[in-house]
Structure 1
Amino acid sequence: MRKKSFLSLILVVLVSLLAACGGEDEATEENNADQQEEETTESAEETEGTEGEAATEAPEPDLEGVPEVVAEVNGEEILKEEFESAYVGQFQQAAMQSQMSGQQLDQDQLKTQIAESLIGQKLLIQEADNSGIEASKGDINDTLVELAEQNGLESKDEFLAALEEQGMSEEEVMSQVSTQVKLDQLIANESGDIDPSEEELQQLYDQYKAQQEQMGGQDGEAAEVPSFDEMKPQLEQQVKSQKQNQAYQTLVEKLREDAEVTNHLS
């Protein structure tokens, strides 16, 4: 775990990179992980000996020309250092997805997406502050526990210790997590009730099942599809995430209408 990756995780609430991933459902991604790995391995074996090292060479993040002030939002600056932290973290994911898909990574497009994400994030932080939203100790603690679990650590203390080794003080971490908690609350207020209905879950399951059956038909093998009950928790989380993301986008668009924004990367 790296400091920059952590900063990207808790500060970049939603990056437009999601659109560049092909819009693939989370449920599909998780249940096709083994199949994708096999296909990637086969592809690598086929190209080995014809393209040599170039076939597996990973791209490097290109940060040349990034201005010291990337953007200004209602008089507040988004600095190059903050942009680079977010960019490097997202670049690693984008580069991996690019290699798996065989498509060349468009770094200019990624830079624009990251800058726009940070602008949206800044607008939300300003709105949370203006709305008087507070981060309780309990919510901060819960978020730390969740982040620790996401990074494969057993406790928040272990998580804080790992970050300290990377140069982040506990005070800095608490400040960042407090900001994230406020943003989560702001989005929750905007999205309202996001509990999915049985109809929504069934519709999503049917779409996934049809996709798997189609893939099985193309490969000549019957696709193994988990039952609705087995996938229900996963489907619920996906629907909730979709609704939260929609609330995020809607609120950012509304705030931007009345905001003074200058994006120096656009």
Structure 2
Amino acid sequence: MRLVLFAALAWALAAAGPAAAQGAFAWPKGKRAAIVLTYDDAMPSQLDVAIPQLDAAGLKGTFFLDADSLTPAEMLRWRRAAKSGHELGNHSVNHPCPRAMLPRAEHHVTETYDTQSMLAEIGVMNAVLFGIDGLTARTYAYPCSQSLVGGEDYRGGLRTSGLIRYARTGGDAYRSVITDAASLDPLDVPSWGPVDHPDGAQLIAYVERVRAAGGLGVLQFHGVGGDYLEVSAQAHQQLLDHLKRNPDIWVAPFQQVMDHVTKVGAATP
């Protein structure tokens, strides 16, 4: 009942939104809004739960992989996922984060990196991913949604390196409702990373805010039905069911959607 009430409220808000907001991005095939489903850290629960649920719903996601725990068996499974249409993105080799965020990962903290070493690690991960899916164009997600290494912002170096086409960072449920293609930085695309076990109603309400704005929403997941920063398998399934029931929402991998967004932004006066 709670899920139904939340969804009904979100739909009412969407229906009340200004008509001018619809089509702000001129979405393809008459779509009203776009949702990108992204998953970080190459977790087993993504292979075991998220991808089977996505495949059953006929939807495709983007999985940002780091290499510090990838096994050969998992790499074969990720290869199968890529062949079925899911995008494999770069999340660096060792997933360095600020010491304060991951104090136990002392050997891979951003305080010990600089721009050159960070870009080198991203380049190595590109090579790993090429070995899995054979692709060269690549998207990226900043580990821990942080772009500072050794006290400097490495986005400038990333921008000129040619290593990455688009990059996703963090955000919140409101900042990450993206409505302006012309001003969106392709290397600083905000996302909503729901934590504290969000239920299906919360996920659907976010989707409906995006739909009401006629914009773009990027969801950032980690564990699905397991692992850490978990969303339950039930809540994830409820989200997918809602997206499948609403074909006016375009659901596609990050790179595909951003290719469209940057084309629209470039054409905007």
TM-score (norm 1): 0.25
TM-score (norm 2): 0.25
**Greater strand percent: which structure?**
2
**Greater helix percent: which structure?**
1
